[in-house]
Each structure stands twice: as structure tokens, then as C-alpha cells.
Amino acid sequence: MLLCVWWDHHGVLYHELLKPGQTVTADVYCSELKKLSQILREKRQKYAHNQGIVLLLHDNARPHVASVTKNTIHQLG
């Protein structure tokens, strides 16, 4: 099992337990980013009005640098 956790300086924003044997592909990572974007709008109001800056800190693993991931990040702003 794999636990995906997203947090900021206030604490955990979102977590999801992936199915046994499921790996983080670019599609899974993009899905997580979209969920995170929605949760940021709900839980952190300043992000809903584009007053906050979101910095993603990730390595160069394939799901993180795939073109679909880059496009998703660009679309989300």
C-alpha cells in the first residue's frame, strides 16, 4: 500500500491510500494534483482568489516530469 500525503505549513491538506499494488503513474499524480487544487480552494481561501503562491517540491521521478504532469500543473495555474 502507498499513502499519498499533501500538506502545507498549517498541516495536512489531503491524503489518499492507494490500492495495494497501485503505483504512482503520471495519470495518478495528475489526479492527485487536481484533487489538491480543489482542496486548496476549499480549505485555504487565499488560494481560491489567487492571492497565494503554491510551490510544489518534488524530485525528477518520471510521474513528476512527464509532459502530462507539466500540462496539468500549467492548467491549474
Burial of 69 (0-12, 13-18, 19+ CB in 10 A): buried
Q: What is the pLDDT of residue 52?
A: 65
Query: For the chain, which residues score pLDDT lower than 70?
Result: 48-52
Pick from 33, 42, 40, 30: which is nearest to 8 by CA?
Answer: 40
CB 60 within 8 Å of CB 54: no
- Is the residue at 47 inside a domain? yes
Cell triple for 54:
503554491
- Is the residue at 51 inside a domain? yes
- Is the residue at 6 inside a domain? no
Q: Which range of residues forms the domain containing residue 64?
A: 23-76
At 74, the amino acid letter reads H
- Is the residue at 9 inside a domain? no
- Is the residue at 5 inside a domain? no
Q: What is the pLDDT of residue 11?
A: 93
Number of domains in the chain: 1
Cross-strand pairs, 7: 12
List pLDDT tens digits, range 52-71.
677 788 898 999 999 999 99
- Is the residue at 3 inside a domain? no
